[in-house]
A = this chain, B = another copy of it.
Amino acid sequence: MQLDKMVQFHKATGDVTRIRILALLKKGPLHGQEIANKLGLKPPTITHHIAKLKDTGMVYARREKNTIYFHLDEKKLEFMATAILRIGEENLVKNQEMQMTEEEKQKIIKNFVTKEGELKQIPSQLKKKLVILSYFVQHFEPGKVYEEKEVNAYIKTFHEDFATVRREWVMQHFMYRENNRYQLNPKEIWPIVIEK
């Protein structure tokens, strides 16, 4: 599970009112006003909270005539609630698949990076791609926040397709993205670490 999705889930469940809503929906679907009555709150408040619950996917809406019923997706709730118990695991698995000698890593870099330090092309094979992503991402300083422009600018110094590289860094957990600003993830959660 993606880091930001996980945070979003826990933010959603980190509120008394929303936990109460979940407790109610566990007994069966309800519509907004009914929830508002049972909790002693106004409808706009319920809209606000339901929106957050829906964003995570654990609650969904079904219309019936004029009334919208909200349902709890218990499978999704279970998956998300337990995701925190698996942090690091995906990476550990990958790390095992990713075991290779320093020699192999250096060979991959040699094959894809020119003498001038430019990336010839993005490898399609996952293993090789991760080596390359790890190699180039080390330019950034841990904890520093970068604007999207800055990230693009750096990528352009070694490869033209900046959008793909940027996206891959986020998808492969090398970087974390929040409102178009980027920062390095701690190496501990990278799928692979190349010492540059």
Contacts and interface: CB of A to CB of B under 8 A. Distances in A.
Contacts of A183: 40
A19 interface: yes
Contacts of A77: 84-85
Nearest to A58: B84
A19 to B, nearest CB: 6
Given A41-B143, A143-B39, A16 B88 contact: no
Contacts of A4: 16
B81 A84 contact: yes
Contact of A39 (B3, B38, B142): B142
A19 B87 contact: yes
Interface stretch (A7-15, A96-104, A129-137, A149-157): A7-15
Per DSSP, chain A at the interface is helix
B82 A23 contact: no
B26 A87 contact: yes
A78 interface: yes
B85 A176 contact: no
B40 A144 contact: yes
A193 interface: no
A188 interface: yes
Interface in A102-154: 141-144
Contacts of A61: none
